[in-house]
Structure 1
Amino acid sequence: MKLIILKGGDDAVPHGHAWRRQAEPSRSAGALALSGDAAQSQWVLINVSPSVVHQLNTDARLLRHRGLADASARAVVLTDARVDHVTGLLSLRDGAPIHLYATPAVFEELTHSLPVLPVLQHYCGVHWHVIPVAGECRESVFRVEGQPTLEFTALATDGPVPPHASRAAAPATGETIALAVRDLVTGQRVFLVSGLSQAGPEATAWMQEADCLVVGDTPESPRPGRMAEVDAPAEIDVLGLMQGIHARRKVLMCRPEQQAPACAQVQRLEQCGVEVAADRMEIEL
């Protein structure tokens, strides 16, 4: 199983242009590309922003990952209906049909509150794959088109609901999810969650079993990787929780404002065994 961090390609090299220098990788928030294909020619995107789609179409460095930039079919798993996780779907409108995996709550938001799906149906079309996390069901196993060796498990979390959500005041089960991905061939496991403080008790065992933990950023919550001051113990606890997880790789997806002062923060993170995600970072398990 292979993961590629996509940050929108702030330092992207356009197709057909010479690769003149190795630029400093972007550390802005982004998405993940995941493949369990032995040839790594089929990929699934975990969330997608317009900048990530632009990167897939323009960044020449991604061409060495066969099928990532020129996929004949797109598979996308959404962990929530946040604007910066879903509006990239519109940028895929001129390509192949999209295989979209989301919970009933997220599909409802994308049909009514943020009507991305009705627009896409007039262009490339969308194949709906419902992840049945709703009501009293807080966990569900599913498979993704083109990834026969990967088993996905969605777990309901208590992350903040986007401001545009119709149920912002009383969120439903499945508004936000974490993802556990297991490679059925190698047994390796990845756990992806937007924020540790919102993960909930169900996720604890999954995190402890993970070979790789990827923690995203949740703007409405305390910053997961921020080097907190003494008067912000909650943020220290989040970092402490990451330190207590024994995954081989622990990766933090940060927003740019979390990087000041970047050197001091990265050094503290590295001391705790946590990597700060950079654009085009590759993780092979």
Structure 2
Amino acid sequence: MWLRVLGSAAGGGSPQWNCGCPTCAAVRSGAGLARTQSSVAVSIDYLRWFLINASPDVRTQIEAFPGLHPRDGRTTPLEAVLLTDAELDHSIGLLLLREARAGLLLYATPAVHKTLCDGSGLLRTLERYCPVEWRAVVPGADISLADGLSCRAFDVPTTKRTRFGPSVDHGRVVGYRLTDERSGGTLVYLPGMQALTPALRAEIQGCQCLLVDGTCWRDDEVVRLGLAGKTSREMGHLPIDGPNGSLAQLPSLAVGRTIFVHMNNTNPILLEDAPERRAVEDSGMEVAMDGLEVEV
């Protein structure tokens, strides 16, 4: 099984267009790599690819990866899109795929599907351009994506305010555990995580590779910079640093390889020479960049 990181930054990318924070300024000066917004592609054979989340940068991300280029006329290796939630940062890219005349296959929970139809109206708009086949994702149930490749979604609890429609507890945010059925290799994609609950620990435990929420280094990161009034946890993301942060908690889960994704533009781990970056690497964990490929 292969995974390609198409975009490794949180919403807005890095640097963010309207931000002059120290990290954005450093990236603009060349001290860090620019990154597009969060999305990955997964394949069992390097021929058929499944997109997890469709970011606003999806066209640029597809063009940057030859594996997703059309092979003949309008024949594309993109088999389907899986969504972890209904956030615009993860779903608005669907509109950029509207030229899919044969239609798009979309995997999403009923809660996410309802939000995109009746809340934001995004899917109603997309359906005016191309057919959309929705397959319901039920947390805890196995899904066969392709011969030899399966996945299972799991609920990710959050108190983050929803912008479209009523908040629900079940299926609003999910992570995915992907399995190579030939080798037994497992990979977990979890770009949003407010707390490392016992249920989430069970889903992560012992996987070969974990791509996990790395939004903020400190819980009060954006508050200290005067950019927002909410902490990382209040925005739905467990910070990396601190006694109860992910850097302290994840090593106990016996994961083969841990890679931080979905970094906010303010996060200093985006900079190669930052002490925070060294702390991550000294712990044996990694920081994703656009274009990173992982084989499990």
CA–CA separation in structure 1 for the residues paired with 2:89 and 2:53 = 8
- 1:221 is matched with 236
Q: Assess, with a 3 A threshold, how the Cα gap between structure 1 residues 217 and 270 changes in structure 2: closer, same or farther.
A: closer
CA–CA separation in structure 2 for the residues paired with 1:161 and 1:223 = 12
Letter in 2 for 1:245: L
1:255 aligns to 2:264 (yes or no)? yes
Matched-pair identity in % = 28
1:243 aligns to 2:251 (yes or no)? yes
- 1:264 is matched with 275
Q: Assess, with a 3 A threshold, how the Cα gap between structure 1 residues 260 and 192 changes in structure 2: closer, same or farther.
A: closer
User: What per-residue deviation string (whole Å, max 9, x for no partner) do you get for residues 233-276 of structure 1?
Assistant: 44xx3211122232221010112211268321110001111111
- 2:170 is matched with 173
Letter in 2 for 1:284: E
What secondary structure, in the 3-state scheme, does the structure 1 residue paired with 2:90 have?
A: helix
User: What per-residue deviation string (whole Å, max 9, x for no partner) do you get for residues 91-143 of structure 1?
Assistant: 1001241110000100100011111111111112111100124xxxxx22112
Letter in 2 for 1:257: T
Letter in 2 for 1:208: Q
Q: Assess, with a 3 A threshold, how the Cα gap between structure 1 residues 154 and 261 changes in structure 2: closer, same or farther.
A: closer
What secondary structure, in the 3-state scheme, does the structure 2 residue paired with 1:250 have?
A: strand
Equivalent residue runs for 1:73-152 within 5 Å:
73-95=78-100, 96-133=102-139, 139-144=140-145, 147-152=146-151
- 1:274 is matched with 285
- 1:17 is matched with none
Moved over 6 A (4+): 8-11
What secondary structure, in the 3-state scheme, does the structure 1 residue paired with 2:141 have?
A: strand
CA–CA separation in structure 1 for the residues paired with 2:104 and 2:151 = 18
8 Å contact 2:43–2:50 — kept in the other structure? yes
8 Å contact 1:81–1:162 — kept in the other structure? no
CA–CA separation in structure 1 for the residues paired with 2:192 and 2:283 = 17
1:153 aligns to 2:152 (yes or no)? yes
Shift of 1:205: 2.3
Letter in 1 for 2:119: S
CA–CA separation in structure 2 for the residues paired with 1:265 and 1:52 = 29
Letter in 2 for 1:34: V
Letter in 1 for 2:275: A
CA–CA separation in structure 1 for the residues paired with 2:178 and 2:130 = 28
Shift of 1:223: 4.8
What secondary structure, in the 3-state scheme, does the structure 2 residue paired with 1:55 have?
A: helix
Q: Assess, with a 3 A threshold, how the Cα gap between structure 1 residues 30 and 73 changes in structure 2: closer, same or farther.
A: closer
CA–CA separation in structure 2 for the residues paired with 1:261 and 1:149 = 35
Shift of 1:201: 2.2
Shift of 1:73: 4.6
Letter in 2 for 1:270: E
User: What per-residue deviation string (whole Å, max 9, x for no partner) do you get for residues 26-75 of structure 1?
Assistant: 345411110012xx11000111112123321x33xx22x2xx13225541
User: How many correspondences in the alignment?
Assistant: 250
TM-score with structure 1 setting the length: 0.79
What secondary structure, in the 3-state scheme, does the structure 1 residue paired with 2:57 have?
A: helix
8 Å contact 1:155–1:179 — kept in the other structure? yes
Which consecutive residues of structure 2, in runs of 5 or more, have no partner in the other structure? 15-30, 71-75, 216-231
CA–CA separation in structure 1 for the residues paired with 2:238 and 2:213 = 10
TM-score with structure 2 setting the length: 0.77
Q: Assess, with a 3 A threshold, how the Cα gap between structure 1 residues 261 and 276 changes in structure 2: closer, same or farther.
A: closer
1:35 aligns to 2:43 (yes or no)? yes
Letter in 2 for 1:259: P
Shift of 1:202: 2.2
CA–CA separation in structure 2 for the residues paired with 1:204 and 1:260 = 24
1:4 aligns to 2:19 (yes or no)? no
Greater relative contact order (Cα < 8 A, sep 6+):
2
Shift of 1:284: 0.7
User: What per-residue deviation string (whole Å, max 9, x for no partner) do you get for residues 166-197 of structure 1?
Assistant: 123xx231101111111001110001223444
